[in-house]
Structure 1
């Protein structure tokens, strides 16, 4: 019996690849004369790297990036809100999957490297608001959260929130983590849960396969079958 479903956002519930790569390019256009190579941008998206790490890796002088990091992240987020959100779309089957979980009264959480505001906006724009409680959406600025695969988002935030706000005591072995990258699979391993790897996402296929996830799917529709089983 699954007592909690934890979803990644980018490359799992939502197709955000174009929105991220375009907004990275727009950020460089606004703040630099340098244009990073697209293959490197795609590699960093596939790795699940956070904004700071992504720009540091792409920046012409990584050692000098610390001084401008906040400015670049703020510019990216402003551009993402005005340009990137328009390019985001939910993967096929997302609504049916979330509806099925709600029908079975399985709590849904999202743990993402994105900001919570960006996740909420994408859910609203795609008609998926109301399926995931706001206090179960964890982003990169959520107090106490740490980037996956660190288990802090589950141990220090989700477990206490579910217990205090919903009266639900969750055991790690009853949790299903659904994600597309190595970080998601390792996150599931670190909290002791079952993992469903979304092969259709952005993660490095060979690296993900080597970690031997318990379930592998090529669409969100296949996750419904895992939930029902």
Structure 2
């Protein structure tokens, strides 16, 4: 039985990737020192190491002096806690609901982090979830950090003297968390959506693998022989939109330009799709079935498949009567089973076609997680997708200002499928 949760912070409850990177770079600028690359910073995040170890990895020649390193750590924490770190952070989806549900179920939550204790508490208060946490054990007073088990015996067990080590569950995203759990004799759930590398964490054989925070509640209830409330965890889609960079604006302008020919338009969609997939978290690219909605969604297929690990491909043929708004979708033959499906549609204006396709895929693959990737979507369509709960994740390159005439999403000119492939022959045909 699980009576208490020992939870990591960075990469598990809170997405602090941007915060850490920005504050690190500001620290180097403060000292007028050469800045490390973002790739080097990313590599330190994957290990779940302390701030001192981070500086040592980024600039080993500079930080052979512990006193100098301590000065840099102090500057970093000052910049972080002055606001830049907190403003650049965001909670992972469903974290507040998860913590609230655990509190209602009587499962205490203690955060054990290699981050500074003040930064953890300040961030919890900023997101108004500090009241859901029973305690924070973080970098303070030279206490040994994860994976060393000292914090468990000296800081955690005294808080919960009646809970045995095996009645705790450790939840974290890096090898440090998994090794910490093994050292204290507790089961461990690996947050695969966080910063830890699959190649390093999976071989350590965590007791459970969590692809999104909401799954943890079900795991705990399963182990405790109880059932979670059906209203505890939101089932609305997680909708992520790309930052509008110059790299994205160029191909999108070509896509919108009515003078672009079919080849140019398809090339623009291919480039937009590649930008879109570069921003999708690694744990969500383990897709085993890709379903482009023909015809327009087929233009995204090559770039999508190139970004994934050998998925099967099926097609959804969508036909919409622009006058009546009636939609008909047929699915081509697909694999017998699937656990993770990605639907592709270039433009989602009303959401009618993707909703119909989602319902048909749900009927065919009732246990699969279905996600959607689109180059251009209207707010009305995204609201509908959230409301209907058919798609777990939605990735949008550009959001439009709205939908007009029941199907056209400006500034796109005309039917996207016709602009990409013409008005006559279909791109794919269903098997008889």
Report the TM-score range of the alignment, normalised by the length of the smaller protein.
over 0.9
Distance 1:161 1:217 in 2: 27
Aligned to 2:120: 119
1:88 equivalent in structure 2: 89
Determine the structure 1 residue equivalent to 2:329.
none
Aligned to 2:136: 137
Which residue is 2:158 aligned to?
Answer: 160
Q: TM-score, normalised by structure 2?
A: 0.50
Q: Distance in 2 between matches of 1:68 and 1:142?
A: 18
On the 8 A contact 2:47/2:174 being kept in 1, the answer is yes
- Could you list the per-position Cα deviations for residues 7-43 of structure 1 after superposition, in whole angstroms to 9, with x for gaps in the alignment? 0000000000110011101100111331112211110
User: What TM-score comes out, normalization by structure 1 length?
Assistant: 0.92
* 1:59 and 1:65 in contact (8 A); partners too: no
Residue 61 of structure 1 aligns with which residue?
61
- Matches of 1:172 and 1:66, distance apart in 2: 35
Partner of residue 173, structure 2: 180
What residue number does 1:7 align with? 7
Equivalent of 1:149 in 102, 125, 147: 147
Q: Alpha carbons of 1:142 and 1:228: their partners in 2 closer, same or farther (altered >3 Å)?
A: farther
Q: Any idea what SS the aligned residue of 1:139 has?
A: strand
- Residue 60 of structure 1: how far off its partner (Å): 5.8
Report the Cα offset of residue 220 of structure 1: 0.4
Q: Is the 8 A contact 2:175 2:201 kept in 1?
A: yes
Q: Does 1:76 align with 2:73?
A: no
| Matched pairs, number | 221
2:98 matches 1:97? yes
CA contact (8 A) 1:178 1:197 kept: yes
Correspondent of 1:214 among 194, 207, 211: 207
Q: Is the 8 A contact 1:10 1:16 kept in 2?
A: yes
1:191 aligned residue: 184
Task: Identify the structure with the greater helix proportion.
Answer: 1
1:11 and 1:64 map into 2 onto residues whose CA distance is 28
Aligned equivalent of 1:170: 163
Greater strand percent: which structure? 2
Q: CA RMSD in A?
A: 1.4
Residue ranges of structure 1 left out of the alignment (5+ in a row): 164-168
Equivalent residue, structure 1, for 2:50: 50
Instruction: Please tell me whether Structure 1 or Structure 2 has the larger radius of gyration of its CA atoms.
Output: 2
Secondary structure, in 3 states, of the residue corresponding to 2:132?
Answer: coil
Partner of 1:166: none
Deviation, 1:63, is 5.5
Kept after mapping to 1: 8 A contact 2:63/2:69: no
